[in-house]
Amino acid sequence: MKIALIVCTYMRPESVRRLMDSVVAQKKVPDEILIIDGSIDDETSVRFRESEIPNLRYYKVPSEHRGLTKQRNYGINLVSDGIDIVAFLDDDVILLPDYFHRLLKTYDSFPAALGVGGYIVNDTKWEPFLTPAPDDLDHFYNDGYRRKESSRYKLRRRLGLAQEEPPGFYPEFGHGRSVGFLPPSGKTYPTETLMGGVSSFPLKVLKNHKFSEYFEGYGLYEDADFTLRLSKIGSLYINTGAQLEHHHDFSGRPNSYTYGKMVVRNGWYVWRVKYENPSRSARFKWYQITILQAVIRFSNVITTQKRGEAFYEATGRIIGLFSLIYNKPCIE
C-alpha cells in the first residue's frame, strides 16, 4: 500500500524540522509528504519550500483555509489518486523508526478498517501490574498495566461518575476516557475515537468524509467529532506498537480563557454528535462532570504555580457552560 503524510502546521518551523528528521529515518518512508502551512510569517516556508526531502511538497494556505480542520481538508484534496492511506501527524511529534511500517501492517490485519491510530509513548508512565488491587483509586488498571490516576478521575469514581466502557469508547454521558488510557502493550485495540495528530485513514474514506469546519483555528476535539462519525459506519483501531513521542509545543494555542470555553462548548458538540438525544440521566451526568471539572480547575489556583492560567481557564469553562443555555452549538 502507498501512504501519504499530511502535516498541518502553524508558526512552528523548528518542530516541523524535528518531525521531518524522524520521517526520513523511517523503515517505510511515506510515498508523499505534504506540509500544509497556515503560518502568518515565512519561517516555515523558507525551510521547506525547496526542501531536499524526497516526495515532500510544501503548501502555504491562503487565509480563508487557515485553521486545523480547514488545512486538513485542503491537504486531502492535494493527495495523489494512487495513494491508499493518508496519515496525519501533529507538527510537534517525533516518530520511532517503524511507525509507518506498523501502521500499514494494521491495515493488512484489518482490511475493513476505516482508520488506524498510533500511540504516544512519552505522555504517561505505565508499569506492568498483573493483579489489580481491589478498591485502588490511586491507579487505573488496563490489560496488565497500571498508571497513576488523576485527581479528576479519582473524584469521579468516588462520586459514581466513572464510565464502564473501555478507553476510546464514548459513554452516553460523554466525558469518556481517551485512547491515552490504553497501555503500551504493543497490541491493537478497537476504538471509537482516534487522536487526530496521530491518525490515518484510507484515502477513499477521506474523499467522502471531511473534517468539520465548525472547529475553528486550534480545533479542539475535532478528531473526536470526525472519528465518532466514522465509527457509526465502520471499525477503527489503535496500534500501540506504532509509537511516537509528543513534545508539546504550546505556541499557536489559544489563551487559557478561550481554551476553557472551547473545552465546554466543543465537548458538548462532540457529545451530541455521538448521542443526538441522550437520556435524562445521561444529560444530568454530563453537566455534573462539566461543573466538577471547572471546580477542580478553579482549585488549581491554589494547588499549582500557574495560578493565572488556571483561573482564566476555569472562568472560560463556566462562561462556556452558561452559554449553552442560550446559544447551543448547531450540530452539522
Residues forming CATH 3.90.550.10 domain(s) in the chain: 3-121+184-246
Cell numbers found for residue 314: 476555569
- Give Cα 166 distance to the centre of its chain: 17
Q: Which of 89, 114, 112, 74 is nearest to 30 (CA)?
A: 89
Amino acid of residue 84:
D
Cell numbers found for residue 60: 502555504
Q: What is the pTM of this model?
A: 0.93
Dihedral (CA of 56, 85, 118, 101) sign: negative
Q: Which of 172, 134, 142, 138 is nearest to 153 (CA)?
A: 138
Neighbouring CB atoms inside 10 A of 151's CB total 11
Q: For residues 297 and 318, give the distance between their C-alpha atoms in angstroms, rounded to a whole number.
A: 10
32-37 and 3-9: which strand pairing? parallel
Cell numbers found for residue 11: 508558526
Amino acid of residue 61:
V
The class that CATH gives domain 3-121+184-246 is alpha beta
Residue 254 pLDDT = 80
In the predicted model, residues of the chain with pLDDT beneath 50 are: none
Residue 23 pLDDT = 97
DSSP-derived 3-state class of residue 293: helix
Q: Which of 86, 88, 83, 103 is nearest to 8 (CA)?
A: 88
Q: Which ranges of 31-89 would DSSP assign to H, the alpha helix? A: 43-48, 68-76
What burial letters (b/e) apply to 64-94, b meaning 16+ CB within 10 Å?
Answer: ebbbbbbbbbbbbeebeeebebbbbbbbbbb
Q: For residues 263 and 273, give the distance between their C-alpha atoms in angstroms, rounded to a whole number.
A: 15
Q: For residues 142 and 171, give the distance between their C-alpha atoms in angstroms, rounded to a whole number.
A: 18
Q: Which of 119, 99, 96, 90 is nearest to 12 (CA)?
A: 90
